[in-house]
Amino acid sequence: MRHLTLAALLISAPFSPALAQDPALNSTFGILNLQAGFSNDPNSVYLLAGGHMQRSFTDAASGDVCRGYFAEAPDFRVVYDATNGDDFSITAESYDDPVLLVNGPDGRWYCNDDTFGLDSAVTFEAPQSGTYDIWVGTYGDTQGEYPGAQLGFTALAPFEPQIRRSFFGEDDRVVLDPTQAPWNMIGLVEMQSGSCTGTLIGPDVVLTGGHCLVNLGEQDNPPLTFRAGYQNGSAVATSRVTGYHVPQMWRVAEQEGMDFGFFFLEQPLGEQLGWMEIGTLSQAELSAFANGNGPEILQAGYSADQPEVLTGNLSCPFVQLGPQNTLQHECDTVQGDSGSPLFVEDGDGYRIIGVESHTNFQPEQDFDMNVAMYVGNIVREFQALSGTQTGTAAMPAPVVK
């Protein structure tokens, strides 16, 4: 998810794609032959997304208009045998808001932007046999950088396998009341491109995921607005963002354990709503988790499949503390939950013990592994910021427990 540059001419109406995207050219990242009923479902390949020219396309099935930066040659080509007539879906996943474009066997153009969060999918309900030429573009101008992307092919519902593996067999999320504590301390972070989840950890300080704001070799994606207790278009309280800070070791090396960031609010919403403390687990708490009777771990965020409501987990299984200040857990989280808090009740308040980061794919296991940033590094970074200049605003002196 990168911020947009309007240096190129913004094309407001569709035009003939033959002017730029040419199916007659060789595909850049390869070709795959698939027959309906293929056993390795979903079948995935990896490539680099984007291109230097912005183009607009109208989806032949829905009439929706998609706009993105695409390469001239197809990124990938699939020759598909649609013998049994099953649905055939093509998906594109990337951190940089992928836009999917397909030239089908019928010569028509199909496109999609944002089916599952920022990820895209095109589904052919009555697929034809033949050649599918595929481009994975980016919504924004990535300034000559080509972000990695995963292209998937499936006869299942788009993104169903990813969601099923993330939920450890059952989806235990519930819709929460964001007008009540502690859920009103959690909110939607609107960046220049896309959104994440964040949590008040001071009167005017919010904790979120580092990758929401900064990724190695790419331009920053500044946070613009924080909507505390967001639900269905409204919020309990809203503030403009005045500055932000991401650890240097995430900014320059994407070091594991450092995927977190802070930003600062124009309005001290915490004085109205309260905030959560940040603090490590005690040895007694870790021993209790090991014995299966540790404190309940709570989590809440704005999941990509339910982006307009705050959903969460009321009792997440704790797995273990991983290497480099990570926390492995089995909260049911998906894209959009990035930056969301894992926290416990602490007396009459709440203590954040982790910040959601990413999912490790484990194809040899029944389920993938969700990984949060453990708060050890977060506490140290937060303490070090006291009285320093960060982003465009000065950090107030924090009280950290």
Structure pTM? Answer: 0.69
Please check whether residues 255 and 223 belong to one and the same domain.
Answer: yes
d(CA 22, CA 71): 9
d(CA 206, CA 199): 5
d(CA 229, CA 217): 33
Please check whether residues 186 and 153 belong to one and the same domain.
Answer: no
User: What pLDDT digit, counting tens, does each position of 115-170 carry?
Assistant: 876 789 999 999 999 999 999 999 988 888 899 999 999 998 887 766 677 788 78
Q: Which of 101, 132, 158 is the last residue of a domain?
A: 158
Please check whether residues 120 and 181 belong to one and the same domain.
Answer: no
**Per-residue pLDDT at 19 exceeds 70:** no
Let me know if residue 238 belongs to a domain: yes
Please check whether residues 152 and 293 belong to one and the same domain.
Answer: no
Contact 107, 78 (CB under 8 A): no
Please check whether residues 301 and 349 belong to one and the same domain.
Answer: yes
Let me know if residue 297 belongs to a domain: yes
Let me know if residue 310 belongs to a domain: yes
Residue 201 binned pLDDT confidence (cut-offs 50, 70, 90): very high
Please check whether residues 153 and 188 belong to one and the same domain.
Answer: no
Let me know if residue 399 belongs to a domain: no
With b for 16 or more beta-carbon neighbours within 10 A and e for fewer, the 199-208 pattern comes to bbbbbbbbbb
Please check whether residues 104 and 185 belong to one and the same domain.
Answer: no
d(CA 187, CA 206): 9
CATH number of the structural domain spanning residue 366: 2.40.10.10
**Per-residue pLDDT at 12 exceeds 80:** no
Please check whether residues 89 and 210 belong to one and the same domain.
Answer: no
pLDDT at 395: 41
Please check whether residues 217 and 82 belong to one and the same domain.
Answer: no
Instruction: Tell me the average pLDDT across 355-382.
Output: 88
Let me know if residue 275 belongs to a domain: yes
Please check whether residues 249 and 141 belong to one and the same domain.
Answer: no
Please check whether residues 270 and 232 belong to one and the same domain.
Answer: yes
Instruction: Tell me the average pLDDT across 94-99.
Output: 86
Please check whether residues 286 and 378 belong to one and the same domain.
Answer: yes
258 conformational bin, left if phi > 0, alpha if psi -120 to 50, beta if neither: alpha
Q: Which of these, 234, 225, 232, lies nearest to 206 by C-alpha position?
A: 225
pLDDT at 141: 87
Contact 78, 23 (CB under 8 A): no
Let me know if residue 208 belongs to a domain: yes
Domain that includes residue 188, residue range: 174-394
Q: Which of 133, 158, 183 is the last residue of a domain?
A: 158
Q: Which of 123, 158, 193 is the last residue of a domain?
A: 158
